[in-house]
């Protein structure tokens, strides 16, 4: 009875939620937006150009002045230089990285694309290594993968250079390429229209896949479809402000007039709208879902990883065991090779020692024989000297004997004479 009363009193203070009422999961997009805004965004741009006003265009695109040293055009090769900037617009933070290709096109070398390809692959590899870690920190990892490649084309009005075609062909499977005709005010409008058609025709005939603005989203399908027909964009960048009418606008001033950053004079507004306002997230998504996935798949297949049927072991475990068995087999093979090499070296060393011992014995025998020969010669010489000495002694004895006999004979003769005198 007491428990029933307590439950009744607790029920009086509780909220009654009707089953057919509003649940609230329609706030999920707002939650995602808030989370993304708090975390911030990153966007990485690769500028492939040869002194065609890249710095001016980037400053104008993001309406800021990026600090950086001027690029020298006396490099022996191509080097890539990255600069990262923290930008904020309203409450949205953007970490922008601009990568410059210093020295690209300065030398007559069709292999200038290699450092660029290696740089893009290095960013993919760094992300893959972070992804393969046991303890990953992808939420705080600075993603350095290239999201967009702004390929600057010289406004020659004729055709693409062979270096441009080769480079874009090598990059189209690794990065989103957006071709740009820089300093387009150098050619007339009619020449520019023909130049765009010629560039598009050359890209198609050479099989170069440039980035196409997506048309699967109904909200942007119409504008993206229209803008795809304007590729490549012809742009004119300027950081100088010129007074036109009653307002100040960014423009390039010439003796014959001014070139403004509006759609009547160039495609700069279209480029900014397509690159930043409409398709920035799609560029990031295409980088991850297409280009990075292609690199990741090729790299994992190269490492021996493969997908398996659901009934078999997990592919990581199976691949690990296969790699482990392969490694153990290689280790045993190397161990056997090292053992055989050790045995071979021991045998070679033994043969060398035996050869040295043989040489020592031969040398000892030669010295021994030489010693015996010398000793024999000395003995013969000693015997000869002894014989000469004995002969000398005999001669000396004979001489002494003769001398004595002569002395005795002389003495007897003297005595006889003395007697005769007496």
In a domain, 6, yes or no: no
Here the tokens at position 231 are: 């590729």
Residues 207, 169: contact at Cβ < 8 Å?
Answer: yes
- DSSP assigned state of 231: P
Please give the torsion angle defined by the CA atoms of residues 236, 239, 244 and 248, in that order, rounded to the nearest 10 degrees: 140
pLDDT band at 8 (very low <50, low <70, confident <90, very high): low
Final residue before a domain boundary, out of 282, 303, 324 = 303
**50 contacts 106 by C-beta, under 8 angstroms:** yes
Residue 92 · residue 293 · CB < 8 Å: no
- Do 213 and 289 belong to one domain? yes
User: 303, 328, 353 — which closes off a domain?
Assistant: 303
5 is a domain residue: no
Are 80 and 120 in contact by the 8 Å Cβ rule? The answer is: no
Do 33 and 281 contact (CB within 8 A), yes or no?
no
180: three-class secondary structure by DSSP: strand
pLDDT greater than 70 at residue 153: yes
Mean pLDDT of 328-339: 91
* Alpha carbon distance 98, 52 (integer Å): 16
Examine the domain organization and report whether 180 and 231 are in the same domain.
Answer: yes
Could you give the C-alpha distances from 26 to 31, 32, 120, in angstroms and in order?
10, 11, 39
- The range of the structural domain enclosing residue 137 comes to 37-303
**pTM of the prediction?**
0.67
Q: How far apart are CA 276 and CA 289, in angstroms?
A: 19
**Can you tell me whether residue 127 is helix, strand or coil?**
helix
Describe the crossing of helices 293-303 and 113-131 by its angle, rounded to 10 degrees: 70
Q: How many Cβ atoms are within 10 Å of 87's Cβ, its own excluded?
A: 15
The verdict on residue 7 lying in a domain is no
Last residue of a domain, one of 246, 275, 303: 303
CB 157 within 8 A of CB 191: yes
Whether 9 is in a domain gets the answer: no
Q: What is the tally of structural domains in the chain?
A: 2
* In the predicted structure, residue 257 carries a pLDDT above the cut 50: no
Let me know whether 260 and 196 are in one domain.
yes
Instruction: Specify which of 13-27, 186-200, 237-251, 347-361 reaches the highest per-range mean pLDDT.
Output: 347-361
253 three-class SS: strand
Residues with Cβ < 8 Å from 76, sequence gap 6 or more? 103, 107
Question: Is residue 26 in some structural domain?
Answer: no
Task: Output the pLDDT for position 256.
Answer: 42
167 shares a domain with 89:
yes
The percentage of the chain sitting over the pLDDT mark of 70, rounded to a whole number, equals 81
> Are the CB atoms for 212 and 243 separated by under 8 Å?
no
243 located within any domain: yes
Residue 413 belongs to some domain of the structure: no
Q: Do residues 211 and 325 share a domain?
A: no
Query: What is the mean predicted confidence (pLDDT) over 16-38?
Result: 79
Q: Are 286 and 211 in contact (CB under 8 A)?
A: yes
Residues 291 and 382 in one domain: no
CA gap 279, 271 in Å, rounded:
10
Q: Same structural domain for residues 121 and 262? A: yes
Over 50: is that where the pLDDT of 193 sits?
yes
What would the mean pLDDT of 194-220 be, rounded to a whole number?
A: 92
Report the alpha-carbon distance of residue 109 to residue 166 in Å, rounded. 11
Banded model confidence at residue 314, pLDDT cuts 50, 70, 90? low
């Amino acid at each position: 009875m007491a428990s029933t009363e307590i439950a009744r009193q607790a029920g009086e203070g509780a909220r009654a939620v009707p089953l057919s009422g509003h649940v609230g999961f329609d706030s999920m997009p707002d939650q995602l937006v808030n989370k993304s805004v708090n975390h911030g965004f990153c966007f990485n741009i690769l500028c492939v150009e040869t002194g065609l006003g890249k710095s001016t265009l980037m400053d104008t695109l993001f309406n800021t002045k990026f600090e950086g040293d001027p690029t020298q055009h006396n490099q022996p090769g191509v080097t890539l230089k990255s600069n990262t900037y923290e930008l904020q617009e309203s409450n949205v933070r953007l970490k922008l990285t601009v990568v410059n290709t210093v020295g690209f096109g300065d030398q007559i070398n069709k292999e200038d694309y290699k450092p660029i390809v290696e740089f893009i692959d290095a960013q993919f590899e760094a992300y893959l290594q972070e992804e393969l870690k046991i303890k990953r920190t992808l939420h705080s990892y600075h993603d350095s993968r290239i999201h967009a490649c702004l390929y600057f084309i010289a406004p020659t009005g004729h055709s693409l250079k062979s270096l441009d075609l080769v480079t874009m062909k090598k990059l189209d499977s690794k990065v989103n390429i957006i071709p740009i005709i820089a300093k387009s005010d150098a050619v007339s409008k009619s020449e520019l229209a023909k130049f765009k058609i010629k560039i598009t025709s050359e890209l198609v005939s050479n099989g170069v896949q440039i980035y196409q603005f997506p048309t699967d989203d109904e909200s942007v399908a119409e504008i993206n479809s229209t803008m795809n027909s304007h590729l490549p964009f012809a742009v004119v960048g300027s950081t100088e402000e010129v007074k036109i009418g009653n307002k100040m606008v960014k423009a390039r001033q010439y003796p014959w007039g001014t070139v403004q950053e509006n759609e009547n004079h160039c495609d700069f507004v279209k480029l900014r709208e397509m690159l930043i306002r409409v398709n920035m997230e799609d560029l990031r998504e295409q980088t991850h879902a297409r280009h990075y996935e292609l690199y990741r798949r090729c790299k994992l297949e190269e490492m021996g990883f493969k997908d398996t049927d659901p009934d078999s072991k997990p592919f990581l475990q199976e691949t690990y065991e296969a790699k482990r068995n392969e490694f153990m087999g290689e280790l045993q093979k190397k161990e056997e090779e090292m053992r055989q090499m050790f045995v071979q070296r021991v045998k070679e060393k033994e043969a060398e020692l035996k050869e040295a011992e043989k040489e020592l014995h031969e040398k000892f025998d030669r010295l021994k024989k030489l010693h015996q020969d010398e000793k024999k010669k000395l003995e013969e010489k000693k015997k000869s000297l002894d014989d000469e000495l004995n002969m000398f002694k005999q001669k000396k004895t004979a001489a002494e004997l003769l001398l004595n006999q002569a002395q005795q004979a002389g003495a007897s003769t003297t005595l006889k004479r003395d007697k005769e005198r007496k």
